[in-house]
A and B are shown apart, each in its own frame.
Chain A
Amino acid sequence: MEMYTNLFNKMAGTCFEKCASRKHKESDLALGEMSCADRCVSKYLESHEKVGAVLQKANEAQAKMQQSQMEMQNAFGAGR
């Protein structure tokens, strides 16, 4: 859950910086700002997913390597 809160906060901050204009004539988002926000959110979520998938693969690879290292050490230690 903390991850989602973090994600939402970061996403809101980034997309507001990119899309919302600093000169406020009215309270609603203009049409251009709305389409910019839609695109920003979809890009952010997609990149978040992809990065998460790559990170998970890297973690798995590292965990496997650690496990095989430990097995080697055990075999080495038992063989002594």
Chain B
Amino acid sequence: MSRAPDSPLSSARYTAEAALHRPIPGWDDASDADADASSSSSSSSSRLGLTMRALPFPQAWGRSNAAPGELPPNFDWLSESCGGKAAIGVIGGGVMGLLMGVFMGALTDMTPPVTMIGGREVPQAPLREQARTTLRATADKSAYWCRQFAFITGVFGGTECLVEKYRGKHDVWNAVVSGCVTGAAMQARQGPQASAIGCGGFAAFSLVIDTVMGTHS
């Protein structure tokens, strides 16, 4: 194990010798040759002939330190499957909903319904109680918007993926159909008429947004 094996993986250089900080070929020779170069420079430096690949520990795949045959990690299973797209939509939508809820909750008006009793002002609760109430309201709003946005984004993304895979075409009508499905699903609890209205509304909204933003053509 005195010499690194001929493997395309950069982690193959993590030998027992390297771990014990024995002299590494190409490392100490270069620093001996350029004595005045800073010894702490460990990133790619063509002048010293040191590269990221010469570091004696495993490194993540990067364009500068990949072997010639190594491919980047393959995330197609995540980005090309409809389940993956729906999951990403749920998570992304949830985060957006949390932010939206925090924003909305901070703007909540917390004045009580009764402010004057018999000509005198109602005394306000101490600051700590007020802060706690506001915080709880914000948390509730955040949870609500998180649920709503996660549902909308997840259903929209998943159905758009399914429709596009089925049709085999890449244009704006995929978003229209999936917008209809999402709108109908949102209003499913209120009955078929509300579902129909939701479908039409969300489909029209989706058509406008995708035509204006030009995501497809």
A interface: dominant SS: helix
Please state if A23 and B217 are interface contacts (CB–CB under 8 Å). Answer: yes
Of residues 21 through 55 on chain A, the ones whose CB sits less than 8 Å from some CB of chain B are 21, 23, 25, 30-36, 39
Q: Tell me whether A32 and B165 are in contact (CB under 8 A).
A: yes
Indicate if B120 sits at the interface (CB-CB under 8 A).
no
Interchain CB contact under 8 A, B169 and A34:
no
Q: A23-B217, A25-B216, A25-B217 are in contact. Are A32 and B167 (CB under 8 A)?
A: yes
Q: Does B121 sit within 8 A of A, measured CB to CB?
A: no
Most buried by A among B161, B214, B217: B217
Distance, CA A25 to CA B214, complexed state (A)? 9
Q: Determine if B217 and A35 form an interchain contact, defined as CB atoms under 8 angstroms apart.
A: no
Chain B residues positioned under 8 Å from A23 (CB to CB): 217
In terms of DSSP, what is the predominant structure of the interface of chain B? loop
**By the criterion of a CB under 8 Å from any partner CB, how many residues of chain A are at the interface?**
12
Instruction: Considering the complex, give the chain B residue whose CB is closest to the CB of A20.
Output: B170
Q: Count how many chain B residues have C-beta atoms less than 8 Å from C-beta atoms of the other chain.
A: 15
B23 within 8 Å of A (CB atoms): no
B128-169 contact mask (Cβ, 8 Å, vs A): 1 or 0: 000000000000000000000000000000000100111111
| Closest chain A residue to B164, Cβ basis | A32
State the CA gap A66–B128 with chains docked (Å).
104
Query: CB distance A32 to B168 under 8 Å?
Result: yes
Does B36 sit at the interface, judged by CB under 8 A? no
A-B contact pairs, 12 of them (CB 8 A): A21-B170, A23-B217, A25-B215, A25-B216, A31-B80, A31-B165, A32-B169, A33-B168, A33-B170, A35-B164, A35-B168, A36-B168
